[in-house]
């Protein structure tokens, strides 16, 4: 699930940094068909690759652990590929523009976002659907294909709950709140405060919502439940309820804890794990989860997510102050003016996406692995022996069919965990050494976070409305460059396009006309000005006849598909859609 959190965060990041252009009807059809073709190609490749794995798994000399690794590698590769295709659809195939054609998408950002992320989910559903035969062959699942796909949706959608709720609440506040509320939310300090308060409240109440969504129920009365309940009472276990976790029809062998405060904190155990383990082994699992609570790991996880937001803001500041001042960047933006806004978004998106992956994969992963090890040690000390937890881990590896030597970025392998527990029981000083390692690591992280937080707080323009937005940063950059090179038409054209995107039509018109005085045969400028006149919703700048004249001149100079789109829009604005 933790890997999927990173992928969903990247998908949301891609969609929200994408741009939306006005599309003519032919462009809408071209974009739609291209997106469908990408989906068809992706589905074909996923199906082909997983069918190969099924044939390998059914071979007489098949090594199940080797094929499991190949299955997991294929899943990860297709997850990355789905993200790349989604990025291409957003940045190059005008997905956002198509979504804005859906009723309500322009008025409600939450609805627009849900529609956008649904396209990404469609890519994932192809991986789940065509990957199921290989999953069934390797892990001997009794689920049906449809049930498996639904289980994946049910398991992963809670990742999106905080984002859906915060965007929906923002829409509501934007509709019913007054000017003061809107001004507060538009202010960088107000936006940060709003998000932090919302995330804190969500961290408290979200577990209850997830419990309902996953259809978790109290563990039925049985000798095992009585044994676990007695153990929890004796140890003062801070859980509100012990719940059955029916994820993937209850066939997974896993357990977990969720919730910051006791009132909404739940211990989850899958039915298969409850049935497989003995009461003593279950105590080992429960003691491990108690260790997460006693060591405050839930609070640290929340801190790490907040820390990412802070560090990403600082990284954004560094990008805006240094990346956009490079002459090569400005040259790229002014040369590719037809993709001006998209390129500008990409210049921010790619470094920030890389930072997100590095932060969670390595820094967050380091803490997660060591927190898991700390919870293992807590369970061993609580029970007086590593045997209950070691036995449960070995059983999980055996009956799940997974390779006990295969680690993940957020967990040590089962073999590593067992070896560490057994070694720690023989050499108790290892426990204290690990405690110091975790304490020092958290302390260093907090010191760095506070120091970098102070740097962000003192950053010039951070708490000035419009001081850190990409458009404002770019406008300042272009204005400064224009003062240095007042006769450079590419810089002036970039500034005009920026004004046009912000619906500052008077300034855009003046800039375009200034260029045309010196370069009357500039096809790109003629095209951009024609588009503005043909599509403007401001009556003062809606000039269809002038738009047609300019578009015809641009098409005569440069017969380009983008210019043809503008010409078609100009004909439509003049009541001549047949031309």
Q: Are 471 and 484 in contact (CB under 8 A)?
A: no
Domain final position from 186, 215, 230: 186
User: What does the buried/exposed string (b/e) look like for 487-497 if buried means 16 or more CB atoms within 10 Å of the residue's CB?
Assistant: eebbbbbbbbb
- On whether both 148 and 1 belong to a single domain, the answer is yes
- Flag whether 355 is in a domain: no
- On whether both 9 and 139 belong to a single domain, the answer is yes
Q: Are 271 and 284 in contact (CB under 8 A)?
A: no
Residue with tokens 């989604």: 86
Residue with tokens 């989910």: 121
Residue with tokens 């003995």: 278
Give residues with Cβ within 8 angstroms of 73, minimum separation 6.
Answer: none
Residue 526: CATH number of its domain: 1.25.40.10
DSSP letters of 107-171? T-HHHHHHHHHHHHHHHHHHHHHHHHHHHHHHH-----HHHHHHHHHHHHGGGGHHHHHHHHHHH
Domain final position from 164, 186, 208: 186
The Cα–Cα gap between 490 and 514 comes to 12
- Flag whether 309 is in a domain: no
| Distance (Å) of CA 469 to CA 135, 397, 472 | 45, 50, 5
Instruction: Spell out the alpha helix ranges (H) of 413-469.
Output: 414-426, 429-457
Looking at residue 23, the DSSP 8-state letter turns out to be -
| Distance (Å) of CA 464 to CA 184, 259, 468, 474 | 12, 36, 8, 16
The Cα–Cα gap between 336 and 340 comes to 6
Domain final position from 436, 456, 476: 456
- Flag whether 56 is in a domain: yes
The beta-carbon contacts of 429-433 under 8 Å, at least 24 apart in sequence, are 431/377, 431/381
- Flag whether 235 is in a domain: no
- On whether both 507 and 450 belong to a single domain, the answer is no
Give residues with Cβ within 8 angstroms of 558, minimum separation 6.
Answer: 523, 524
At residue 6's C-alpha, the angle toward residues 246 and 45, to 5°, is 85
At residue 393's C-alpha, the angle toward residues 441 and 265, to 5°, is 65
Give residues with Cβ within 8 angstroms of 435, minimum separation 6.
Answer: 374
Backbone φ and ψ for 242, nearest 5 degrees, come out as -105, 120
Low-confidence spans in the chain with pLDDT less than 70:
21-24, 60-62, 178-179, 186-189, 321, 323-327, 329-342, 344, 456, 459-474, 476-477, 481, 484, 577-579
- On whether both 404 and 496 belong to a single domain, the answer is no
Numbers of helices and strands, H then E, in the chain: 25, 4
State the residue range of the domain holding 49: 1-186
- On whether both 542 and 494 belong to a single domain, the answer is yes
pLDDT at 18: 82
- On whether both 93 and 155 belong to a single domain, the answer is yes
pLDDT at 340: 60
The Cα–Cα gap between 263 and 87 comes to 41
- On whether both 37 and 143 belong to a single domain, the answer is yes
pLDDT at 188: 62
Give residues with Cβ within 8 angstroms of 215, minimum separation 6.
Answer: 246
- On whether both 180 and 70 belong to a single domain, the answer is yes
At residue 46's C-alpha, the angle toward residues 40 and 49, to 5°, is 140
pLDDT at 462: 53
Shortest CA distance to 560 belongs to which of 398, 298, 337, 307? 337
- Cβ-in-10-Å burial (0-12, 13-18, 19+) of 546 comes to middle
Q: Are 110 and 172 in contact (CB under 8 A)?
A: no
The Cα–Cα gap between 319 and 311 comes to 12
Q: Within 10 A of 408 (CB to CB), how many other CB atoms are there?
A: 13
- Flag whether 243 is in a domain: no
- On whether both 430 and 547 belong to a single domain, the answer is no
- On whether both 434 and 501 belong to a single domain, the answer is no
- Flag whether 113 is in a domain: yes
Task: State the helix-helix crossing angle for 109-139 and 161-176, rounded to 10 degrees.
Answer: 170
- On whether both 419 and 492 belong to a single domain, the answer is no
Quote the number of domains for the chain. Answer: 3
- Flag whether 449 is in a domain: yes
Q: Bridge-partner residues for 255, per DSSP? A: 269
- Flag whether 161 is in a domain: yes
- On whether both 444 and 491 belong to a single domain, the answer is no
């Amino acid at each position: 699930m933790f890997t999927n959190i990173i992928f969903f965060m990247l998908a949301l990041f891609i969609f929200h940094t994408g741009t939306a252009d006005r599309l003519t009807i032919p462009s809408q059809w071209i974009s739609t068909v291209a997106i469908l073709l990408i989906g068809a190609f992706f589905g074909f490749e996923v199906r082909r690759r997983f069918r190969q794995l099924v044939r390998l798994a059914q071979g007489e000399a098949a090594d199940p652990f080797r094929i499991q690794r190949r299955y997991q590698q294929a899943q990860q590769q297709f997850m990355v590929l789905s993200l790349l295709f989604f990025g291409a659809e957003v940045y190059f195939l005008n997905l956002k523009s198509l979504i804005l054609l859906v009723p309500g998408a322009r008025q409600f950002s939450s609805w627009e976002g849900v529609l956008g992320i649904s396209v990404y989910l469609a890519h994932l559903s192809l991986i789940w659907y065509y990957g199921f035969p290989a999953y069934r062959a390797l892990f001997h699942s009794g689920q049906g294909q449809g049930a498996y796909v639904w289980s994946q949706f049910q398991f992963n959608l809670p990742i999106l709950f905080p984002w859906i709720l915060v965007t929906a609440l923002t829409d509501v506040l934007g509709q019913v709140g007054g000017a003061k509320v809107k001004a507060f939310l538009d202010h960088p300090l107000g936006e940060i405060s709003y998000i932090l308060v919302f995330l804190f409240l969500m961290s408290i109440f979200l577990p209850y919502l997830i419990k309902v969504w996953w259809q978790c129920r109290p563990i039925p009365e049985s000798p095992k439940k009585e044994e676990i309940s007695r153990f929890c009472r004796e140890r003062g276990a801070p859980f509100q309820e012990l719940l059955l976790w029916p994820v993937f029809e209850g066939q997974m062998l896993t357990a977990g804890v969720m919730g910051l405060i006791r009132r909404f904190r739940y211990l989850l155990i899958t039915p298969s794990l409850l049935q497989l383990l003995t009461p003593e082994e279950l105590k080992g699992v429960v003691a491990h989860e108690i260790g997460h609570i006693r060591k405050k790991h839930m609070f640290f996880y929340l801190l790490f997510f907040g820390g990412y937001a802070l560090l990403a803001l600082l990284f954004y500041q560094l990008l805006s102050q240094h990346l956009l001042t490079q002459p090569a960047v400005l040259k790229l933006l002014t040369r590719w003016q037809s993709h001006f806004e998209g390129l500008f978004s990409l210049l921010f998106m790619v470094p920030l996406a890389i930072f997100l992956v590095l932060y969670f994969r390595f820094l967050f992963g380091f803490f997660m692995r060591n927190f898991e090890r700390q919870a293992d040690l807590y369970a061993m000390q609580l029970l007086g022996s590593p045997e209950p937890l070691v036995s449960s881990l070995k059983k999980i590896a055996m009956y799940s069919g997974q390779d006990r030597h295969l680690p993940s970025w957020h967990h040590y392998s089962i073999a590593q965990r067992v070896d560490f527990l057994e070694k720690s029981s023989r050499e108790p000083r290892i426990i204290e050494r690990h405690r110091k390692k975790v304490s020092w690591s958290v302390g260093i992280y907090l010191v760095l976070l506070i120091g970098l937080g102070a740097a962000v707080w003192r950053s010039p323009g951070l708490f000035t409305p419009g001081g850190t937005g990409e458009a404002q940063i770019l406008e300042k950059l272009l204005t400064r460059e224009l003062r240095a090179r007042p006769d450079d038409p590419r810089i002036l054209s970039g500034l005009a396009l920026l004004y046009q995107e912000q619906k500052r039509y008077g300034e855009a018109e003046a800039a375009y006309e200034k260029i045309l005085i010196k370069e009357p045969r500039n096809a790109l400028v003629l095209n951009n000005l024609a588009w503005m006149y043909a599509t403007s919703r401001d009556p003062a700048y809606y000039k269809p006849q002038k738009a047609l004249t300019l578009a015809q001149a641009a098409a005569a100079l440069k017969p380009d598909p983008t210019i043809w789109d503008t010409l078609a829009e100009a004909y439509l604005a003049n009541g001549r859609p047949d031309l």
